[in-house]
């Protein structure tokens, strides 16, 4: 349990930094995608902005629990284990969520693709952290 909490805490911090960096870099790298967030389909309620920063914390602890349960099935070095965990996360959680979101909200396939990549890299980062901490 101690490893889940400590690795979840470290992954939370790193994923929070990653989320913040993505907020800063996305409008520069993908201005068309950034413009989509001004669409009325997106909630423009500042009281919910905190949830963007809560998400990486919840995800980190969920993935830490998952890692603790299934780490023996992930083979290879830290990078390979991280990639495998990211692929599992993308297939089990990200793609199904994005399919329902894409079907219900007026967003482009490009925006949906960026969310897919974002989820993959979140799980990859967490997987590498867990691999190094759960030796």
Tell me the per-residue pLDDT of 53-90, one tens digit each, with 9 for 90 and over: 899 999 999 999 999 999 999 999 999 999 999 999 99
pLDDT of residue 34: 85
Task: Report how far apart, in Å, the C-alpha atoms of 43 and of each of 12, 46, 101, 128 are.
Answer: 25, 9, 14, 33
Average pLDDT estimate for 41-50? 77
95: pLDDT strictly greater than 90: yes
Nearest-angstrom CA–CA distance, 88 and 25: 26
Q: CA 22 to CA 14: how far, in whole Å? A: 12
More confident residue, 126 or 39: 126
* Distance (Å) of CA 77 to CA 59, 82, 133: 22, 8, 13
CA–CA distance, 100 with 120 (Å, rounded to integer): 18
pLDDT tens readout for residues 109-121: 999 999 999 999 9
Please tell me the predicted confidence (pLDDT) of residue 44.
72
Please report which confidence band the pLDDT of residue 135 belongs to, taking 50, 70 and 90 as the band edges.
Answer: low
- Mutual angle of helices 109-133 and 95-104, in 10-degree steps: 160
Domain ranges of the chain: 2-133
d(CA 76, CA 131) in angstroms, rounded, equals 10
Please state the rounded mean pLDDT for residues 27-43. 83
CA neighbor of 122 nearest in space, from 47, 66, 43: 66
CA dihedral 124, 127, 128, 133 (to 10 degrees): 160
State the pLDDT at residue 113.
Answer: 95
Cα 56 to its chain centre, rounded Å, is 7
Supply the DSSP string of 72-106, one letter for each residue: GG--SSHHHHHHHHHHHHIIIIIHHHHHHHHHHS-
């Amino acid at each position: 349990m101690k490893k889940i909490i400590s690795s979840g805490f470290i992954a939370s911090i790193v994923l929070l930094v990653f989320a913040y960096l993505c907020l800063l870099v996305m409008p520069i790298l993908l201005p068309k995608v950034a413009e989509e967030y001004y669409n009325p389909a997106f909630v423009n309620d500042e009281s919910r902005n905190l949830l963007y920063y809560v998400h990486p914390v919840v995800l980190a602890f969920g993935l830490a629990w998952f890692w603790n349960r299934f780490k023996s099935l992930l083979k290879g070095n830290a990078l390979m284990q991280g990639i495998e965990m990211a692929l599992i996360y993308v297939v089990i959680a990200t793609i199904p969520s994005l399919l329902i979101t894409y079907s219900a909200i007026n967003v482009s396939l490009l925006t949906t693709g960026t969310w897919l990549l974002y989820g993959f890299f979140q799980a990859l980062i967490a997987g590498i952290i867990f691999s190094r901490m759960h030796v």
